[in-house]
Structure 1
Amino acid sequence: MHGIEDFSLTYSLKYTLMKLMFEKILPTENSSWRYWLYKRESIEFNWHYHPEYEIALTLNSQGQRYVGDSIEDYHEFDMAFLGPHLPHTWCSSAEKEGTPQQVYVAQIPVPWLESLVFGMPDLAEFKPLLTQSRLGIKFSTETVKKCAKVFKKLQQATASERFIGLITILQLMSKDDGRQTLASQGYNISVASDASVDKLDKVIRYIYQHYSEKISAQTVAQLIHMSTNHFHRFFKQRTEQTFTQVVNQLRISKACSLLINSKMPITTISDSCGFHNVPNFNRRFLQFKQMRPSEFRRIYAGKSQVI
Structure 2
Amino acid sequence: MKANLERVPIRIGSSWRYKKIDGVEKNCHWHFHNEYELVLFRKNNAKGMVGHFERVIEKNTLWLIPPKMPHAIELLEEKELQCESHIIWLPKEWVENMIFSCTELRRMGELFKRSSNGLCFSTSTAEKVYQLIEKLFKDSILDDLGYLIQILGCLCSDKETRPLQLFSKQEASDKEGKEKIDLVCQYIDDNYQNSITLLNVAEHLCTSESTIHRLFQSHFGESFSQYLKKLRLNHAANLLTHSRLPIGIVAEQVGYRNQTNFNRLFKDYKQLTPNQYRKKFSSL
After superposition, the Cα gap between the structure-2 partners of 1:195 and 1:21, relative to the gap in structure 1 and judged at 3 Å, is: farther
Letter of the aligned partner of 2:149 in structure 1?
Answer: I
Matches within 5 A, 1:50-61: 50-61=33-44
Work out which of the residue numbers 120, 125, 129 in structure 2 matches 1:147.
Answer: 129
Name 2:234's counterpart in structure 1. 204
Provide the C-alpha distance between the structure 1 equivalents of 2:41 and 2:14, rounded to a whole number of angstroms. Answer: 23
Q: Among the aligned pairs, what percent are the same residue?
A: 21
Name 1:70's counterpart in structure 2. 53
- Find out whether 1:158 has 2:188 as its counterpart: no
In the TM superposition, residue 41 of structure 1 has moved relative to its aligned partner by 2.2
In the TM superposition, residue 160 of structure 1 has moved relative to its aligned partner by 1.2
Provide the C-alpha distance between the structure 2 equivalents of 1:131 and 1:72, rounded to a whole number of angstroms. Answer: 23
Provide the C-alpha distance between the structure 2 equivalents of 1:178 and 1:43, rounded to a whole number of angstroms. Answer: 30
Normalised by the length of structure 2, the TM-score is 0.64
Provide the C-alpha distance between the structure 1 equivalents of 2:73 and 2:187, rounded to a whole number of angstroms. Answer: 23
After superposition, the Cα gap between the structure-2 partners of 1:226 and 1:202, relative to the gap in structure 1 and judged at 3 Å, is: closer
In the TM superposition, residue 167 of structure 1 has moved relative to its aligned partner by 0.8
- Out of 180-189 and 139-148, give the one that drifted further: 180-189
Contact kept? 2:26, 2:81, Cα under 8 Å: no
Letter of the aligned partner of 2:140 in structure 1?
Answer: T
Q: Which stretches in structure 2 are left out of the alignment for 5+ residues?
A: 168-177, 193-227, 242-247, 279-284
Cα deviations across residues 205-254 of structure 1 (Å, max 9, x unaligned)?
4225549xxxxxx97663234778xxx9xxxxxxxxxx94x8646448xx
Name 1:116's counterpart in structure 2. 98
- Find out whether 1:87 has 2:117 as its counterpart: no
Work out which of the residue numbers 166, 169, 192 in structure 2 matches 1:184.
Answer: 166
Provide the C-alpha distance between the structure 1 equivalents of 2:105 and 2:188, rounded to a whole number of angstroms. Answer: 36
In the TM superposition, residue 37 of structure 1 has moved relative to its aligned partner by 0.9
After superposition, the Cα gap between the structure-2 partners of 1:248 and 1:202, relative to the gap in structure 1 and judged at 3 Å, is: closer
After superposition, the Cα gap between the structure-2 partners of 1:166 and 1:34, relative to the gap in structure 1 and judged at 3 Å, is: same
Provide the C-alpha distance between the structure 2 equivalents of 1:151 and 1:188, rounded to a whole number of angstroms. Answer: 35
Name 1:235's counterpart in structure 2. none
Provide the C-alpha distance between the structure 1 equivalents of 2:143 and 2:270, rounded to a whole number of angstroms. Answer: 40
In the TM superposition, residue 132 of structure 1 has moved relative to its aligned partner by 1.4
Provide the C-alpha distance between the structure 2 equivalents of 1:273 and 1:207, rounded to a whole number of angstroms. Answer: 8
2:135 match: secondary structure: helix
In the TM superposition, residue 138 of structure 1 has moved relative to its aligned partner by 0.7
Provide the C-alpha distance between the structure 2 equivalents of 1:152 and 1:195, rounded to a whole number of angstroms. Answer: 43
Normalised by the length of structure 1, the TM-score is 0.60
After superposition, the Cα gap between the structure-2 partners of 1:209 and 1:76, relative to the gap in structure 1 and judged at 3 Å, is: farther
Contact kept? 1:135, 1:181, Cα under 8 Å: yes
Name 2:252's counterpart in structure 1. 222
Letter of the aligned partner of 2:188 in structure 1?
Answer: S
Work out which of the residue numbers 156, 162, 165 in structure 2 matches 1:174.
Answer: 156
Name 1:214's counterpart in structure 2. none
- Give the aligned CA root-mean-square deviation in angstroms: 3.7
